[in-house]
Structure 1
Amino acid sequence: MGIIFYFILIMVGPILIQVYLKKTYSKYLKRGASSGLTGAQAARKILDENGLYNVKVEEVRGRLSDHYDPRSKVVRLSSDNYHGTSIASISVAIHEVGHSLQHSQNYAPLNIRHALVPVANIGSNFSFILIFIGIILSSANLLLLGIIAMAAAVLFQVVTLPVEFNASSRALNAMVGSGLIRNDEEGGARKVLNAAALTYVAATVVAVAELLRFVLMFFGMQSDED
């Protein structure tokens, strides 16, 4: 029973959340926002209102490939959101602007996440290799090294949660405050932002579950050696 629950947690859960995100996004991609602005225009408006004239807004390939690049200070929007005038397009665009606002205001969790990037990359690249070799060789020490490396990657995902939720909160306030959406459109914008945030929650839950599984395996290996 425990194995079935674990399988549902790490496999089915994230898939269902992705389906929900795509369904919610597609629904509100068809609903035009009252402002009539494109995602790019809305992003530019909020950036300028906050004095971030040096932050660019660019189009990028892909679907829902939107992101903020802190190194280049560029808000990159996928074509649907860059050109779209829908509630979904504006919501996603201003969410990425939210990250730009965090960057400009030295938002602590964002700074921590940026600092963790090199360590998280190492952890992601080598953790499973060390864990696999540790299991094959029944080496508790190698397994422990793999767990430590994985923990760094998991920490990065945990820190990502407040960053994403805060960006969404900033986005919703900015959209309503600047008249990008009406009050009766706020519910739709919130659904889009919450659906996107759930994908980060799911990824974090899966990562933590995997880490705990290997931690338990390590203690089991230690017991066998004793």
Structure 2
Amino acid sequence: MKDYRGKTMKWTMMTGSMITVAVLSVVPVQAEIQTMIAAGGCFWCVESDFEKVDGVESVVSGYTGGTLVNPTYKQVSSKNTGHFEAVKITFDDEKVSLRELTDYFWKTIDPTDPNGQFCDKGEPYRTGLFYQNDEQKRVFEASLSDIEKNKPFSEDIVTEILPAKTFYLAEEYHQDYYLKNSWRYRFYRSSCGREARIEELWGSVASEQYH
């Protein structure tokens, strides 16, 4: 099928001996920019993993799911606000779909741990997907269903799919931490055992395909 977006199309109709030419101008179809909210443990790592994906325009770190308004990192890390460390991913759905990002998400985390991720334990480090509308809920649940059927490990998946609440942007020093403090970030990620556990579960580290 040819893509006629943004082009002028000419239609010719013949009625008896009369030929009618109609010119139809097609309005260009714009890419739809969407957002996805996910929690996968330390938001530095989740931000790093998703910013590698083609079609992702930006990833910001923040807090969501709790009760405290405008929380600070110190408050969230006290582990009594109910907030997750999370990221908001902005993406171009002509280049990458929500389903593709969701399928990728599972393979960047340990979805079997109800208490946190890797060396980080406590409520801020739980995993979750936060749907902003019914369609996102459907996509998240369909992806989860497929993962549950095909996962290469026996443990149950405990990652929650929850309605989105207010997303609070984290402090500036957390944004792009993996770029601003690359040596410290790499040391933290390695020493926390993230890659080792992901490889143990999934057989490979999904984010490494973008290195």
> What's the TM-score bracket when you normalise by the shorter of the two chains?
under 0.3
Which one has a larger percent helix, Structure 1 or Structure 2?
Answer: 1
TM-score normalised according to structure 2 size: 0.26
The normalised TM-score by structure 1 is: 0.24
The answer to which structure has the higher strand fraction is: 2
